[in-house]
Amino acid sequence: MNKRILGLMSISASLISAHSLAAGFQLNSQSATGIGRAFSGDAVIADNASVLSRNPASMAMFDSPALSLGLTYADIDVTIKDVNYGPINYGSERDAAEDKVIPNAYYIHPINERLAIGVAAFSNFGTGTDISALNNSGAAVTPVDLFGKTEIVTMNFNTSLSYRVNQQLSVGAGLDLIYGEGTLNRTGEVIGGSTVQSTLVDVEADGWAIGGIVGATYEFNDKNRLGMSYRISPEFVAEGKVNYGGQSYDEIHIPLPNILQIAGYHELNPQWAVHYTAQHTSWSDFDHITVTGSQAEQTVKSYQWKNSWLFSLGATYQINSKWTARAGYMYDQGVVDELSSLSIPDSDRNWYTAGATYYLSRHSSIDFGLALVRGEDVEVKENSSIPGLGQVVGHTRSNAAYYSMQYNYSF
């Protein structure tokens, strides 16, 4: 692969560093169509090529090539406030995450009546918070190991194949080539007023990993169908500048969870359809971030999250030959168990979404999607390893608004 292609991939991946506003640091921003219906039924509706991000088997429902190109603007509102250790108050950070633009692209090409192939570029994971300003409180002792910049960036390049077994059953499989970057920095004055900057963690690393997805669809008829997929995510290994505890290491290891989806679609009449999704993510796999090298393996951070479910329900209404409207609701379970973290705030979240499609012609359309994501106020208790400190307490809340557009073309 030449340097120009690698450079373009890196630029694309750099756009994905937004706080996820889904359970853990999972992203739900793969398409404007999906955002408009809270991703309900997205693994089986197959109304455009973006279905490739959810279920490769659904490509079997396309009888002509299809292209989808989209952008999502994420207006992120992450607040971390009233952080304290006993009587010591470290202040608040009311703008802990930056707004981001998140791109995606999909292409599906039927080979014959049974086979189809597809390629895609999108992201399933990403997070970014910066609470290093809390290090400037002037307190006598500061939990520098808890305050800093945390960023995980991923971009998924997927190639998939589908096969129609018979009129009802189709199966599919895909290969994910995942590019990722990780930044972890914990630097500041442990002893207030000492002017001595202590660097506990300093990581800027990137790398590639390989995962995959398998899926199936069952079409009862042209109005009712079910779909299922299982995405296998790797342990991501990144190389670069990896310093921890005053020692240099070669690699940082970040385990990613697997994702199971079950979706349904039912057309009630020529105007109305309903659809739904249940999604399980194995966040218990994301237990430790570790570093390795000539030194013994060290654990940088333990999370020990719990597995989570996402449930969404939506409806589509065909207004006329030019417009289709859709709406949806999603309940997304938080993943934090006994160990919580100020650097990756999390809670149960409610998604309220709406969207529309405008048909430019028989072959092309534009999708619009809007989502309002509302989290909960959460009290976070995190233990600091700095001598003289113990359990630090803070309060977090994560909200967002997603604005998304997508162009679709059927050849």
What's the pLDDT score for residue 338? 64
Delineate the domains of the chain, giving CATH numbers in brackets: 3-410 (2.40.160.60)
Strands (E) in 51-114, as ranges, are 66-85, 88-93, 100-110
Whole-angstrom distance, CA of residue 400 vs CA of residue 2: 37
What's the pLDDT score for residue 13? 34
What's the pLDDT score for residue 16? 34
Whole-angstrom distance, CA of residue 339 vs CA of residue 313: 31
3-state DSSP call for residue 362?
coil
Whole-angstrom distance, CA of residue 50 vs CA of residue 31: 6
Whole-angstrom distance, CA of residue 16 vs CA of residue 33: 19
What's the pLDDT score for residue 24? 52
The set of long-range contacts for 193-199, using a CB threshold of 8 Å and a minimum separation of 24, is 193/138, 198/144, 199/243
What's the pLDDT score for residue 93? 85
What's the pLDDT score for residue 339? 67
Which residues, at least 6 apart from 172, have a Cβ–Cβ distance to it below 8 Å? 55, 56, 57, 58, 59, 60, 160, 161, 162, 163, 214, 215, 216
Whole-angstrom distance, CA of residue 44 vs CA of residue 50: 11
Regions of the chain short of the pLDDT cut 50: 1-21
Instruction: For residue 184, give the nearest of 161, 155, 151, 215 by alpha carbon.
Output: 151
What's the pLDDT score for residue 21? 47
Reported pTM: 0.88
Whole-angstrom distance, CA of residue 41 vs CA of residue 46: 9
